Amino acid sequence: MPIAVILDWYGPYKDLKKLTKVARAWGRDKTVYLATEMGDLSDPNLKINYIGLSIDPESRFRRHPALENDGNGHFYIAEITTSGIPGRRSRKTPPDLHAAEGALISALQPALNKRRKGTPSDCVVVYSRFFGKKNEYKAKPTPKWFPAVVAYNSLSNEWHT
């Protein structure tokens, strides 16, 4: 089933402790998170080191080798703001969360994601909006190192970023 997901990203957080503290207080159960390399956030060539998902972010960030990597410099956490897909699920992870993470990993190929996801089995669009750590209502410009839209057309096997 084709799916479209909107992610609202919050950050950047300078270290994993700060990200974990925010995740504990957040109270959301469907999150996507990412870590970038160290460097200037205005650099369009800044690399994404890791992208992950969690249905329990408070516990997920504890003892996570990819997030504890010394090469990580900035962290972001995102919530899915679109409605989920109703009905029974075939896996523990909600389909919208699984599709968003899979599409981002497949399209962006983060260095620390050991299991690269293959292309999605169906069409998927992920639209990302970025917000500051303190202002949840006014979006910031999308960083130049991150595509605002990641889309995969399974019928033509084409990526659009």
User: What is the C-alpha to C-alpha distance for residues 14 and 149, in angstroms, rounded to an integer?
Assistant: 25
Count of structural domains, the chain: 1
Nearest CA to 156 out of 115, 119, 107 is that of 119
pLDDT at 42: 96
Q: Which residues of the chain have pLDDT under 70?
A: 58-60, 84-92, 116-117
For residue 120, say if its preceding peptide bond is cis, omega within 30 degrees of 0. no
SS3 state of residue 105:
helix
Model pLDDT for residues 34-48, shown as the tens digit of each residue: 999 999 999 999 999
pLDDT given at position 87: 58
CB neighbours of residue 73 within 10 Å: 18
**Residue tagged 């010394």 (tokens):** 70
Q: What is the predicted pLDDT for the residue at 84?
A: 67
pLDDT at 45: 97
Domain that holds residue 109: 3-160
How many CB atoms are closer than 10 A to CB 81?
12
CB–CB of 133/11 below 8 Å?
yes
Q: In whole angstroms, what is the distance from residue 78 CA to residue 69 CA? A: 20
Please report the pLDDT score of residue 92 as a whole number. 65
This prediction's pTM: 0.90
Which two structure tokens, joined as six digits, stand for 2? 């084709």
